[in-house]
Each structure stands twice: as structure tokens, then as C-alpha cells.
Amino acid sequence: MRGRHAIGPEIADKMDGSSLAQTRLRVVLETIAGRKPVQDACDELNICEQLFERIRARCMQAAVASLELRPAGRPPKATSPADHEIAELKEHIAELEAQLQAAEVRAELATTLPRLAGEAGKKR
């Protein structure tokens, strides 16, 4: 056989959680796989069939919920109002710095260009 070997209900023992939760998961998986009848599962867990059916339904619902598609990448970090205000202020500072640089260039051009116009007239 090629590839990975199939693993059955024993995978429950490798999951994080209490021993009770692991046992419940293993028993639920055994009933789904057809290895154990529901009545035997109820006897092993010392619960009634109605409770077992609720546990199995919750288990399956949690499995389905965990398999839903989610947006790729990291979830966005929750930002506080202070973080939002800081970001706005940084953006405002960047705009003001760009305006300042443009004003400095205009001032430099205003002081340089009249001289160039005067020198161009002398060369002719």
C-alpha cells in the first residue's frame, strides 16, 4: 500500500483534551465507522442513548464548523480607538511633510529661476 496509512478512531487518543473528551470522541468515531453499536457505546460511556446522540451531533457540528472556508491569511488585529487615531495622525503627518517638501521645492525654484532668466538674457 502506498501513501499514508489510514487511521481510525484511535486518532482521538492523539488529540489535545481531557481523557474523558478523548474517550467520548473515540467512541463516537467507532460508532460512525461501524465498529461499535450505539448501545455498546452508551454502556462504555455509562450514558443513555439520547445523551449519546446529542454528544455525537455536537461532535459532528463542531467538525463541520471547523471545516468551513475562512479568508486566507491572518485575521485582522482588533484595533482600539487610540490605535485608529494614531494611524490617522501618522497619515496626516505624512501629508503635511509632502506639502512642506513641495513648498520648499517651489521656494527654491522661485529663487533660482529669476537668476537663470537673467543669465539667459546676457548670453544672447
Summarised one tens digit per residue, pLDDT across range 17-56 is 999 999 999 999 999 999 999 999 999 999 999 999 999 9
Question: For residues 46, 7, 15 and 57, what is the CA-based torsion angle, rounded to 10 degrees?
Answer: -50
Summarised one tens digit per residue, pLDDT across range 45-95 is 999 999 999 999 999 999 999 999 988 998 888 888 898 899 999 999 999
Q: How far apart are CA 59 and CA 87, in angstroms?
A: 43
With contact defined as beta carbons under 8 Å apart, do 39 and 49 qualify? Answer: yes
Rg (C-alpha) for the chain, rounded Å, is 36
**Whether the model pTM is above 0.75:** no
Q: Is 8 left (phi over 0), alpha (psi -120 to 50) or beta?
A: beta
Domain regions of the chain by residue span: 9-66, 80-124
